[in-house]
Structure 1
């Protein structure tokens, strides 16, 4: 009996010891929560932030730099309840209520710990920081930290560069540990598109601390520290001086300019007007109120990037492309003449008036003088290629060709929020007319042949059309990135692919001749540059209010160096403002100056004010 009792007691001890051993194993070997908590208590993991990669133009002129940003942090356990709160609030220019909000957190939130530093205030000015440093000994638990934030040496290129913003919880959750509370990331523009390359990699410094959370010494002599890796420098294809020149020309105008190097697809200029100073959106600025003001400006829409987001009817700049399609489909020939008496009629239908030419035009002449009658006719013949009663098949044939020219979808430009424009298909018109039980024929959509109607393009697509014609049938996708500082990185492969357009090269000659004659003795005399063969086409995009002024071009005629599109809202006909502005941009890029005998055109455009008081 006695032996049985001893065995029971021994069994209880053994069982208890086994349970305790298993629990200890769970705590020490399997469950890391206690280990992590102990580590947080003894080690201070101080994040070391990398320097964000700089951004340069094609000539290595700095576009985006870094400047110090001072933050105030707190270890709550070290807070002295007897500290001079009034002085502290005075130094930071805050009230007592704000102070309480800043230092008291939801301690149940796993992001915060009373023994772990957290940010109290951001964007402390260098002047305020200097004064604050003199009094820091009075405020136990508080300490300052310096981080780099973006600054912009120039007031140019806001839409291209973009800006940074603090990450939200959703972005933190989806970042796989890359971001944490208080981090910044690119939100729009190049800052967003190349965030991974620009941000670098954070490091960490381990400091031993006591039971009050005070740093004592570097842990293990710094052997476990990880140093931050700076972000890559980004070299763009932008020409800063050309960009600034274009922005000056677009002052007091709404619209956009895009210029491309046809041989590479590199974007030389991409600007949207009305714009803003990129420094206004810096982390260190009072950007919340600035952003609200710009975001509610429904007339000028300064945050709206008109170079890639705005969709416009291209007007007559589409005529050279329509001519190429008609030639490729065998529906016209280079020497075929189509008469024009200043109008175009089909039965009783009267279409948009044309210049009173009273002459028959071939392809080159029709482009030179922008003859609507010529392009109404070839559009009608293309849509009716498969029969008068089957216009859908003909229209879709035209749209398929336009898609090869990079229209109707995004070009994958490395600028955020690119729009794809609009190419109307037969399906669209079937739905539109079937609502009323009607059918449609070619005569209902002839305006597409002169770049009007439901057809819409972005300015970057217009510039790319000019590049395709300049190259006689191919293009590289327009892009801003040129190279990175790191030898291990290269630009995306999609920007190296040569995209061919299915148009015989022999057809480009007469079309380009017509574009050259449009400058020399046609619709765009103000675009003529002495000593440079410019090939271009004017367009007038119809609008409810004043028409929009459109122009695209490339130069020189042989071995072209620049292709450009200019769209000016409410600027009138294409030759009035868009054409001279484009020619000034071309001349500035190729010659680095404007000829004296053309200074009057420069002054005219610099001083032109096309802004209107109300919406159009």
Structure 2
């Protein structure tokens, strides 16, 4: 009947025909996706946005929750507005806004829904719902905005905002759509995937007028939204609010940590902002004002602001020097030959304890010189490099010059100068020596830290040689899961026996040393160290780190107050009030409390900022 060649051609086309018939059978009987596409004009796909996870403090007090609202979306291909003025009147917008949004929607996509109007209340929705039959292509999506129980936690908490075009394009899981809200900073950003939940979808049949006629396929294709997981933070919101109140009219930070767990009890950045201003329809308006504020209220200073640690860093020098076997508790240094000045104190027996108690600059100048030169060989340049290398390796264990890994997205490393750093600065090896870098001995020079790192230093000393990475969330979701990293004890490489003299010196610095009387708590033994960070543009910054009580410490703290002068008379009293509040649940020193609640250093800050601008203008003219 067929020749061999014709038979092959016949069977080839028969196979193709059978393949097409099989595909057609699959599409019509088993796969309803094409039917859904064909019925697209009669089926409405409604996205259900899940409620974002709520946020609680360490005592399970609600801090952030969600208030339901409605967003209005438009699909340009389907949109038809017969009466523009009526539409604008219905939603309280003007025609310019309407035309601008329609233009943006078409530029985005003619087929995809575009966020036309955000944050409509229940009343707005109820008033407009029946009228929407006249406005094809517009649909409501249930959403929510963040509502805050406290204004004192905004910087560390972060905020949510509409996803940026770049982030929309770069997303890996194709989860977000134009107009979606995402965490932009702080905890809201770091825990975004846990907080956002999973969106749902429901399909509804509608008639030609857009009126809903019922559930499609009995809801078989619907997917229920899954609410985001709640965050249970380490923050004591009452302590947070108290510390925040003490930092009013000031610029700086307060960071308090529970030493035994690494849990952050309070993290204050001053000045701050009202988080509710960034939660509503006027986000752009208020964000612009905050972004242009010269006091930079949007910056979370504790993990990201840069300061020289000043004399607080002498504690590290004392520990590193002992661990290296170069100094000990009985080491004595006089003031002779030191280019740095000292506080007025008895130097007849200037040992390590006395040097910490009175923050003796010449002592740590000589100690640092000994650390660099003892046990090294070669000329002074080579010995300086050898000594700095061994010093830097131990000092880095305390977290300086690297990130601690706090669960916030804006932590900065700071700067711990090493041999390579100075080789770059001085353009080559063997071009620098101790006399070029001695300012490191007293926490100045090229050394840069954050307040978070200094609070962690206080926790390390309280623990006598180890820390758990500081963190602000102690549990995620119902199971209270947490990254194992935040349960890991990290040793700093200094034997516990070397901490005794340092702690005793810190105790006496508070009781009868560099800390003024307003920084002492009568019935609590607090160990602390003052610092005054040099500042060429205005008054020096005031720094104080501490922990308490001396035995079995419950809180470690660092306070930075910009342009406030000596650490013992500005930062120390604020720290002592926070410590007293946490340990006793109240503050008995009411006169001191009232003084620092009302104390303002803003004129110093403004003056310093003016000098910076003036000097910048001069340099630009040159």
**Do the structures match in fold with TM over 0.5?**
yes
Cα distance 1:39–1:562, how it changes in 2: closer, same or farther (>3 A)? farther
Cα distance 1:129–1:229, how it changes in 2: closer, same or farther (>3 A)? closer
- Three-state SS of the structure 1 residue aligned to 2:152 is coil
The answer on whether the counterparts of 2:77 and 2:110 sit within 8 Å (CA) in structure 1 is no
Cα distance 1:71–1:587, how it changes in 2: closer, same or farther (>3 A)? same
Whole-angstrom CA distance in 1 between matches of 2:211 and 2:23: 30
Structure (1 or 2) with the greater helix fraction: 2
- Three-state SS of the structure 1 residue aligned to 2:393 is helix
Partner residue of 2:523?
531
Whole-angstrom CA distance in 1 between matches of 2:94 and 2:16: 55
Partner residue of 2:421?
428
The residue correspondences of 1:45-444 to structure 2 (distance < 5 A) are 45-74=45-74, 83-103=82-102, 111-113=109-111, 118-133=114-129, 135-136=131-132, 138-139=134-135, 142-173=138-169, 174-210=171-207, 214-282=211-279, 284-297=280-293, 299-340=294-335, 344-345=336-337, 350-355=339-344, 357-385=346-374, 386-387=376-377, 388-389=380-381, 390-434=383-427, 439-444=431-436
Whole-angstrom CA distance in 1 between matches of 2:110 and 2:434: 68
Cα distance 1:62–1:122, how it changes in 2: closer, same or farther (>3 A)? same
Cα distance 1:28–1:55, how it changes in 2: closer, same or farther (>3 A)? farther
Deviation string, structure 1 residues 8-37 (Cα, Å, up to 9, x no partner): 9xx999999987876676788699996674
Whole-angstrom CA distance in 2 between matches of 1:32 and 1:217: 19
Deviation string, structure 1 residues 335-369 (Cα, Å, up to 9, x no partner): 222223xxx525xxx33444364433111111011
Partner residue of 2:596?
605
Shift in Å, 1:98: 3.3
Whole-angstrom CA distance in 2 between matches of 1:483 and 1:361: 48
Whole-angstrom CA distance in 2 between matches of 1:127 and 1:217: 24
Deviation string, structure 1 residues 463-487 (Cα, Å, up to 9, x no partner): 0000000001110000001112322
Aligned with 1:449 (options 425, 438, 441): 441
Q: Name whichever of 562-571 and 180-189 sits farther off.
A: 180-189
Cα distance 1:584–1:97, how it changes in 2: closer, same or farther (>3 A)? closer
Partner residue of 2:471?
479
Whole-angstrom CA distance in 2 between matches of 1:377 and 1:304: 38
- Three-state SS of the structure 2 residue aligned to 1:345 is coil
Whole-angstrom CA distance in 1 between matches of 2:286 and 2:482: 34
The answer on whether the counterparts of 1:354 and 1:373 sit within 8 Å (CA) in structure 2 is no
- Three-state SS of the structure 1 residue aligned to 2:302 is coil
Partner residue of 1:589?
582
- Three-state SS of the structure 2 residue aligned to 1:68 is strand
Shift in Å, 1:88: 1.7
Cα distance 1:562–1:106, how it changes in 2: closer, same or farther (>3 A)? closer
Whole-angstrom CA distance in 1 between matches of 2:385 and 2:107: 64
Cα distance 1:396–1:35, how it changes in 2: closer, same or farther (>3 A)? farther
The answer on whether the counterparts of 1:536 and 1:552 sit within 8 Å (CA) in structure 2 is yes
Whole-angstrom CA distance in 2 between matches of 1:482 and 1:22: 58
Aligned with 2:552 (options 559, 574, 578): 559
The answer on whether the counterparts of 1:28 and 1:35 sit within 8 Å (CA) in structure 2 is no
Whole-angstrom CA distance in 2 between matches of 1:602 and 1:397: 44
Deviation string, structure 1 residues 473-519 (Cα, Å, up to 9, x no partner): 110000001112322x6111111110012112111111100000001
Whole-angstrom CA distance in 2 between matches of 1:24 and 1:159: 63
The residue correspondences of 1:562-577 to structure 2 (distance < 5 A) are 562-577=555-570
Shift in Å, 1:178: 1.7
Whole-angstrom CA distance in 1 between matches of 2:80 and 2:442: 76
The answer on whether the counterparts of 1:27 and 1:34 sit within 8 Å (CA) in structure 2 is no
Deviation string, structure 1 residues 141-165 (Cα, Å, up to 9, x no partner): 5443331121112111111111112
Whole-angstrom CA distance in 2 between matches of 1:100 and 1:351: 68
Whole-angstrom CA distance in 2 between matches of 1:404 and 1:36: 61
Partner residue of 2:618?
none
- In structure 2, stretches of 5+ residues that fail to align are 612-622
Q: Name whichever of 215-224 and 490-499 sits farther off.
A: 215-224
Cα distance 1:101–1:21, how it changes in 2: closer, same or farther (>3 A)? farther
The answer on whether the counterparts of 1:105 and 1:112 sit within 8 Å (CA) in structure 2 is no
Deviation string, structure 1 residues 450-475 (Cα, Å, up to 9, x no partner): 11111111000000000000001110
Whole-angstrom CA distance in 1 between matches of 2:372 and 2:143: 62
Whole-angstrom CA distance in 2 between matches of 1:449 and 1:176: 50
Aligned length: 594
Whole-angstrom CA distance in 2 between matches of 1:465 and 1:104: 55
Whole-angstrom CA distance in 2 between matches of 1:118 and 1:431: 52
- Three-state SS of the structure 2 residue aligned to 1:373 is helix
Partner residue of 2:502?
511
Cα distance 1:373–1:106, how it changes in 2: closer, same or farther (>3 A)? closer
Shift in Å, 1:212: 6.3
Q: Name whichever of 329-338 and 265-274 sits farther off.
A: 329-338
Partner residue of 2:490?
499
Cα distance 1:25–1:181, how it changes in 2: closer, same or farther (>3 A)? farther
- Three-state SS of the structure 2 residue aligned to 1:428 is helix
- In structure 1, stretches of 5+ residues that fail to align are none
The answer on whether the counterparts of 1:77 and 1:212 sit within 8 Å (CA) in structure 2 is no
Shift in Å, 1:175: 3.3
Cα distance 1:225–1:566, how it changes in 2: closer, same or farther (>3 A)? same
Say what the alpha-carbon RMSD is for the aligned residues. Answer: 3.0
Q: Name whichever of 246-255 and 356-365 sits farther off.
A: 356-365
Shift in Å, 1:104: 6.0
Whole-angstrom CA distance in 2 between matches of 1:247 and 1:168: 31
Whole-angstrom CA distance in 1 between matches of 2:139 and 2:473: 40
- Three-state SS of the structure 2 residue aligned to 1:575 is helix
